[in-house]
Amino acid sequence: MNRRLSVTMLGAVAAILGASQAQAQSSITLYGVLDEFVGYQSATVGGKHTSLYSLGNNGEMTSRWGLRGYEDLGGGYRTTFDLESGFDPGTGKQQNQYRFFDRQAWVGIAAPYGEFRFGRQNTPMFAWSGSMDAFGSATYASGYNDFANWLARVDNDISYLSPKFGTTQVELHYSVGGQPGTLAGNAVYQAGVQTTLGPAYLAAAYLNAANATANNRVQEFMAGGNVDYGRGKIYFGYFRANDVISATTGNALSNPAGKYDPSVGPVGNVPGNWHSTYSLSADYRFSPFLSAGAGYAFVKDSSSLGNNARQMSAIVNCDLSKRTRVYGVVSHLSNSGTAQYKMTGASITSGSFVTPDGGQSETGVQVGIRHLF
């Protein structure tokens, strides 16, 4: 009897474990973006009028492929991850020569009280900027993207994403600098909050990045959002930073657009004067598949150089399906003083843009196609 009872009990335990494993759920999703465009830019370069016609990539979104997934651990817990790599569909090359998963590479634990993530991650500023601009903070047309130069993503990042309190969510980030004897050297600190109030979306984020000895810090602050008025949205964005971009388009952060050079740290230049970017734009939906928008952006240089700039733009989006969009933009950027701001895009590669001489203007036209998979 005892032997039979033992066998019966072992069978029951095995059945319970088997049922538990069968109930555990996991998911892996392959996703990506393909974005190609035909572009035209015109500016004064080297003292003479220069035009550029190009077949480029990453106009509205950076072309990429990725794997994201989760495993249900039970009790409201699950493991999460995301691996994302940018590439150039025009040539098939990697977007970033320094790394394979240049855009995201993190693993996390999600729980009822929030989610912790560890690895290379997008900053809240990058993730939320598209909701503050009718141009999605991309294409030639986005003055908000061309002027602001927020840090897009950070290495060795530990983040906490809170559960939603109603419609509000908080993010906290600390990037480990990896410097012996200090927790502050090369560290990046971030905090952000986003919320929805009826037809309005609002967000704000702060970033503080130190150099290796923590005696030089770049600070960035972003705030903005949009209001849905029924047939479209009105967008507004503000960005303020003390990095050195007064005379050139260079950024004190050596990690713009995720193209991080591992030979240098997060802060590469001496802090300069503050600059502030203001953006106002709006769009109108003619139908669920066709919309048009326009906007104005301005950057104010607080130094005596007065290297300000402004940009006026328009965009048309035509959604051929839920996954495929054709877009077109036209834009004009005007530099003051010796400023050399230029029209970029989501993360376009060299050969798809020109950099005007100091204080010179630039005109751009872009027609592209974007497909999601």
**Angstrom distance (rounded) from CA 352 to CA 53:** 8
- 124-128, 151-155, 262-266: least confident range: 262-266
Instruction: Domain of residue 296: give its range.
Output: 25-372
On whether residue 315 sits in a domain, the answer given is yes
Residues 44-59 have pLDDT tens digits of 999 999 999 999 999 9
- How many other C-beta atoms lie within 10 A of the C-beta of residue 85? 20
On whether residue 2 sits in a domain, the answer given is no
User: What's the rounded mean pLDDT across residues 299-308?
Assistant: 85
Comparing CA positions, the residue from 13, 113, 62, 92 lying closest to residue 348 is 62
Entry pTM: 0.88
- 27-41, 220-234, 269-283, 305-319: least confident range: 269-283
Percent of the chain scoring above 70 in pLDDT: 85
CATH code of the domain covering residue 364:
2.40.160.10
On whether residue 13 sits in a domain, the answer given is no
Q: How many domains does the chain have?
A: 1
How far is residue 178 CA from its own chain's centroid? 24
Please provide the DSSP assignment of 100-139 as one string.
Answer: SS-SEEEEEEEETTEEEEEEEEE-HHHHHHGGG-TTTT-T
On whether residue 3 sits in a domain, the answer given is no
Comparing CA positions, the residue from 155, 107, 141 lying closest to residue 262 is 155
Per the model's pLDDT, the better-predicted residue between 370 and 15 turns out to be 370
Q: Give the pLDDT score at 213.
A: 83
Question: Which residues are CB-neighbours of 34 under 8 A, at least 6 positions away?
Answer: 63, 89, 370, 371, 373
Residues 89-131 have pLDDT tens digits of 888 888 887 789 989 999 999 999 999 999 999 999 999 999 9
On whether residue 157 sits in a domain, the answer given is yes
On whether residue 66 sits in a domain, the answer given is yes
Residues 188-233 have pLDDT tens digits of 999 999 999 999 999 999 999 887 888 878 889 999 999 999 999 9
On whether residue 85 sits in a domain, the answer given is yes
SS3 string, 182-202, reads: CCCCCCEEEEEEEEEECCEEE
Mean pLDDT computed over every residue of the chain: 87
On whether residue 229 sits in a domain, the answer given is yes
Q: Give the pLDDT score at 227.
A: 98
